[in-house]
Amino acid sequence: MTEINISFQVENEYNEMTSAFGIEENYTIDVIKGFKPEMNDKQNLFITGESGSGKSLLLKRFGDVISPEDIPKETLIKWSGLFDISEKYFCQLLSGVGLCDAKLFTRDISTFSDSQRYRSLLLYSLIKYDTIILDEFLSTLDRESAKPIAFAFQKICKKLGK
C-alpha cells in the first residue's frame, strides 16, 4: 500500500489574522496546482494528514469520491437484480464485506447500523466501480469496528483486482 502524508500550512498573509487572535505561530502553505495524480493498476493508496490539511481536496483530484449517499436505498435482496452479476458472485461480495447475515437481505438499508451501512457502501462500490475512491473511510466507526471491515475490504479488492 502506498501512503501519502500531506500537511498544508498557512501563508504569511494569514499570520496577521492569527496573531490578532493571539496565535504566535507562523505558517506557510504549499498549494498543489494542476496536480493530477496517477496510480498504477490495482494499487491501494492511503492519504493521511491533520484535520484541515487538504486530504479531501487531494483525494478529489483522483476522480469521483464515493459516499454513502451514492448507494441504492433498496434492500440487499433487490440489489442482485440491479446489477448484471451472478448470484454466486453477489454472495461472494456479500461475504467479503461481512454482510452475509440472511436477516439483512430483507431489511431496508436505512435501518442498518453505521457499520452495516459502510459495508453496504463497500459492497456497492465493489460491484459498480473498478477504481474505488473513498473519503473519511470508516471514520464514524470506532477502531475496533473499522479494523476488520478495512482488512476484509482490502483483501477482497486485491482478490478482485480493484
DSSP 160: H
Per-residue pLDDT reduced to its tens digit, 25-39: 654 445 555 556 666
Q: Is the pLDDT of residue 11 over 50?
A: no
Residue 112 has pLDDT above 80, yes or no: yes
What pTM value is reported for the model?
0.69
57 within 8 A of 91, measured Cβ to Cβ? no
Which of 76, 80, 65, 44 is CA-nearest to residue 160? 44
How many residues comprise the chain? 162
Helix runs in the chain, H state only: 12-20, 55-60, 76-82, 87-96, 102-105, 114-128, 143-160
Instruction: Give pLDDT tens digits for 57-73.
Output: 777 777 788 887 888 88
